[in-house]
């Protein structure tokens, strides 16, 4: 647990190979208690806040950035700790939390994870709606793209403009409910805010303002590449390589490994890719078979005949 700004903490930073998200906490120092932003998948990091003098029972509000299990899977356990806890998520993603989630991503990534649905207290539906907790005013900015109901939670302190963006660096692939055009518009909206501190759903805290802008621009580029190779031209070697390099530079070594392996499968003599693979492997990334599964689903037999 680490303080990002006065009374704002990252309680669980994302680490390589971790399927859980980055988890954040705001101490309102008021009857509103503690606010958790994306409580994550596991209860242990939340229980650990005791070490720092906080009580998990005092988490009274839980703001969820979007309806992916790694960001809210722990909700029913939080409710056991505090039955009066309030949950907030955009109405377009709310059913993911209120129903037993079941889709291919869950099968692939969270095998055996047991989830029990919880009722959402407030479904966000108005863009830029303000939620008030103690002295904090949190603006809920609708940023569709990664999912239809993705929300960035924005607040201003005396010295900084802070945003909790969820999966800014996440994919916007159609098969998983994403939308690249909407995502680009949403990111442009964020770029106009002159954000000082971006709390990302997986890549932890990005600051200062120049780095935030650079990061969002890289994420847009990454998603454009992803769209080309996974939805348009799966044999575009140059884009495969550029994307792999981008993922490597971002420190997303598991994605980089997956992309590089696939690139070498379709273009085995690519010496640049072989060199890059060696560098990626030094970080011991876990193995996912995301790319192959996605391509098979999206292109089906069309790709096999090539
Ligand atoms: Zn996500």
Distance 66 CA to ligand 1 centre (A): 7
Residue 104 alpha carbon to ligand 1 centre in Å: 14
Which regions of 51-92 does DSSP assign to beta strands (E)?
A: 59-63, 86-90
- pLDDT above 90: residue 112: no
Cα distance between the two ends of the chain: 50
CA of 204 to the centre of ligand 1 (A): 14
Query: How far, in Å, from the CA of 68 to the mean position of ligand 1?
Result: 5
Domain ranges within the chain, ordered by starting residue? 2-226, 233-304
Ligand 1 mean position, distance from CA 268 (Å) = 32
Mean pLDDT of 267-282: 97
DSSP 228: I
Burial degree of 53 (CB within 10 A; 0-12, 13-18, 19+): exposed
CATH superfamily of 2-226: Ribonuclease Z/Hydroxyacylglutathione hydrolase-like (3.60.15.10)
Per-residue model confidence as pLDDT tens digits over 67-106:
999 999 999 999 999 999 999 999 999 999 999 866 666 6
Cα of 35 to ligand 1 centre, how many Å?
20
Cα 21 to middle of ligand 1, angstroms: 9
- Whether 2-226 shares its CATH topology with 233-304 is answered no
Phi, psi of 90 (to 5 degrees): -65, 145
Q: What are the structure tokens assigned to 47, written together?
A: 């229980």
Contact 222, 215 (CB under 8 A): no
Looking at residue 83, its pLDDT comes to 97
In the predicted structure, residue 109 carries a pLDDT above the cut 80: no
φ/ψ of 152, rounded to 5, equals -105, 130
53 Cα–ligand 1 center, Å: 30
User: What is the CA(267)–ligand 1 centre distance, in A?
Assistant: 30
Q: How far is CA 67 from the centre of its chain?
A: 10
Whether a cis peptide bond, with omega within 30° of 0, leads into 183 is no
Question: What does pLDDT average to over the chain?
Answer: 93
How does strand 2-5 pair with strand 8-12? antiparallel
233-304 CATH pick, 1.10.3720.10, 3.40.50.720, 1.20.120.610, 1.25.40.10? 1.25.40.10
Total-model pTM: 0.94
Ligand 1 centroid to residue 168 C-alpha, Å: 9
């Amino acid at each position: 647990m680490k303080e990002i700004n006065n009374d704002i903490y990252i309680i669980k930073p994302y680490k390589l190979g971790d399927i859980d998200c980055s988890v954040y906490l705001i101490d309102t120092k008021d009857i509103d208690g503690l606010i958790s932003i994306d409580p994550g998948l596991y209860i242990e990091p939340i229980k650990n806040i005791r070490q720092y003098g906080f009580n998990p029972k005092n988490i009274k509000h839980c703001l969820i950035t979007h309806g992916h299990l790694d960001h809210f899977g722990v909700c029913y356990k939080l409710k056991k700790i505090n039955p009066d806890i309030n949950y907030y998520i955009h109405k377009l993603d709310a059913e993911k939390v209120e129903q037993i989630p079941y889709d291919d991503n869950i099968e692939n990534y969270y095998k055996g994870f047991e989830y029990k649905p919880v009722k959402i207290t407030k479904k966000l539906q108005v863009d830029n709606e303000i939620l008030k907790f103690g002295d904090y005013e949190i603006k809920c900015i609708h940023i569709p793209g990664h999912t239809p109901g993705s929300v960035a939670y924005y607040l201003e302190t005396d010295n900084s403009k802070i945003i909790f963006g969820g999966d800014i660096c996440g994919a916007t692939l159609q098969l998983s409910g994403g939308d690249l055009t909407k995502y680009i518009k949403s990111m442009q909206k964020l770029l106009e805010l002159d954000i000082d501190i971006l709390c990302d759903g997986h890549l932890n805290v990005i600051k200062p303002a120049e780095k935030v802008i650079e990061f969002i621009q890289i994420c847009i580029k990454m998603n454009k590449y992803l769209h080309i190779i996974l939805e348009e031209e799966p044999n575009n070697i140059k884009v495969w390589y550029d994307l792999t390099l981008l993922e490597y530079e971002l420190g997303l070594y598991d994605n980089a490994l997956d992309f590089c392996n696939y690139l070498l499968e379709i273009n085995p003599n690519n010496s640049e890719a072989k060199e890059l693979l060696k560098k990626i492997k030094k970080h011991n990334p876990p193995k996912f078979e995301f790319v192959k599964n996605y391509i098979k689903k999206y292109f089906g037999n069309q790709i096999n005949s090539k």
